[in-house]
Amino acid sequence: MSLFKKSIVLIVLLLVLDQVVKIWIKTHMMLGEEYSVFGDWFLIHFIENNGMAFGMELEGQWGKILLSLFRIFAVCGIGWYLYDISTKKAPLGLVISIALIFSGAMGNIIDSAFYGLIFNDSYYQVSTFMPEGGGYASFLHGKVVDMLYFPLLEGRFPEWLPMWGGEHYIFFRPVFNIADSYITIGVTFILLFQRKYFMKEHK
């Protein structure tokens, strides 16, 4: 099996894992509901967002459309790059890293593009798959499902600290999903091993 075909298999497996978890959350939990996995420092906390990784977003309907289109163009570019490096026998680590980034971007695109069409909303109810009255939003206006929450540390900043003195903090505050994790891991691997991955270019 070629390196490119192996990367496709990896992408399919990663996407299946991401979507199975999101669909389970969407069809078994209401917005804001949470379960403890390991004490108070690892929670499954169901939220949805309109935008980018870790809850960031662009405001308004046009912002949502622009973000979705940007994601689609970006994932096309990443897919082409993955094919290019796979056929040129790039280091396996680089191929896996790009496959992770591609999977993460694609996983969140699926939410944005289709979840509004196939689910009703999760406000004060558990969402239904393919509801009779239709979904909660049109194509490309769906929300991304997030659920992983790691509030490892909580407290207040010292009073003497400029700007944030006395304010309450939680680390790590963002709630994210498995697709976000793929992107973070892929980018981190590239940053850590860039000399090894791009050795030919350096030479």
What residues act catalytically?
146, 180
d(CA 148, CA 145): 10
Q: Among positive and negative, which fits the CA dihedral 25, 30, 35, 41?
A: positive
Environment class of 187 (CB within 10 Å of its CB; exposed 0-12, middle 13-18, buried 19+): middle
Which tokens is 171 given? 């680390």
Q: Give yes or no for a contact between 91 and 190, defined as CB atoms under 8 angstroms apart.
A: no
Task: List Cα–Cα distances, 99 to 81, 141, 187, in angstroms.
Answer: 10, 25, 11
Side by side, the strands of the sheet bearing 42-49 are: 34-38, 42-49, 144-149, 175-176
| Strand-pair partners of 34 | 45
